[in-house]
Amino acid sequence: IEMAEGQGQRLGLLNLKNGKWMTQEIFGDNVNCAGSMFRKAQIFTIVQLDDNKVHIISRRGTMLFASPKGNLVSLSPSKAGPDAVFEIIVQADGTWAFKTAHNYYLTAEKEDEMSAFARKITPAECFTFALALHPQVNIFSPARQ
């Protein structure tokens, strides 16, 4: 997805391994991959910085950070730094893997807990995306002139 620098694209991220949506829980700001349906809690904004480097911002306005120890936390965007930068690695099948500044990958190996400590890309580290747009319908009636 091409984005102008600093602009974001709202989308949902579906994990390839477990078929669940990446979700930010309402209480505790935990991020997991346990959503079975695409709802508001599964909407994230991908903000492009340069090339394939992005910030991931939740619907609640918090930004995902990956600590050097592999913990994935969501904090205020005012604390943005190198730990909040992810690189999108596009796979041959079109899925995305998110590489952290610490050269690890965002993983959904455990459904109830996401981390950023995977050393290689497997299906647990790959995500497909769905644009978070309202459907628009244009109806054309040949009888109407």
pLDDT for 3 beyond 60: no
Q: 10 Å Cβ neighbour count for 15?
A: 25
CA distances from 49 to 39, 52, 83, 87 (A): 26, 8, 14, 10
- Using one digit for the tens of pLDDT, what is the confidence trace for 84-103? 999 999 999 999 999 999 99
* 137 φ, ψ (degrees, to nearest 5): -125, 130
- Using one digit for the tens of pLDDT, what is the confidence trace for 9-30? 999 999 999 999 999 888 777 8
